[in-house]
């Protein structure tokens, strides 16, 4: 009996046409790019606040602060570029993250000094 592992089946020689499988970034509307980036920032902030499944193991308030601040800056800068239909739920999510940060932090920021409050104004919990 040989200890050699059998050779894997050969890979197909035809490679997929990635151009056909991907969407050209030029075809993506700006509002979709902005909202997608905002959702990614929100998700990452929530994980770093410990709000995800198994959250306490991923909790990093310094990282959460940076992500929330960046999200607030994006929302402030894009306010006139995206409709309130898109902006309203993102603003609600931002405020929820700011409140969750305030509740999670052992060191309380002064009103207006919390993450993103430079752009949103003070958030009270």
pTM: 0.79
Torsion of CA 118, 35, 87, 124, to 10 degrees: -40
In total, the chain counts a number of residues equal to 125
**Per-residue tens of pLDDT for the chain, all 125 residues:** 555 555 555 555 566 666 655 667 778 899 999 999 999 999 999 999 999 887 788 899 999 999 999 999 999 999 999 999 999 999 999 999 999 999 999 988 999 999 999 999 999 86
Number of alpha helices (DSSP H) and beta strands (DSSP E) in the chain: 5, 0
Crossing angle (nearest 10°) for helices 84-104 and 30-48 = 10
CA separation for the pair 95, 125 (Å, rounded) = 10
């Amino acid at each position: 009996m040989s200890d050699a592992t059998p050779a894997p089946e050969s890979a197909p020689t035809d490679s997929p046409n990635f151009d056909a499988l991907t969407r050209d970034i030029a075809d993506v509307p700006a509002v979709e790019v902005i909202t997608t980036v905002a959702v990614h920032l929100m998700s990452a902030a929530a994980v770093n606040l410990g709000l995800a499944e198994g959250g306490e193991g991923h909790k990093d308030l310094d990282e959460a602060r940076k992500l929330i601040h960046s999200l607030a800056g994006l929302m402030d800068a894009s306010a006139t570029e995206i409709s309130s239909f898109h902006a309203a739920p993102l603003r609600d999510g931002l405020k929820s993250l700011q409140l969750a940060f305030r509740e999670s932090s052992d060191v309380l920021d002064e009103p207006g000094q919390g993450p993103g409050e430079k752009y949103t104004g003070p958030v009270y919990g």
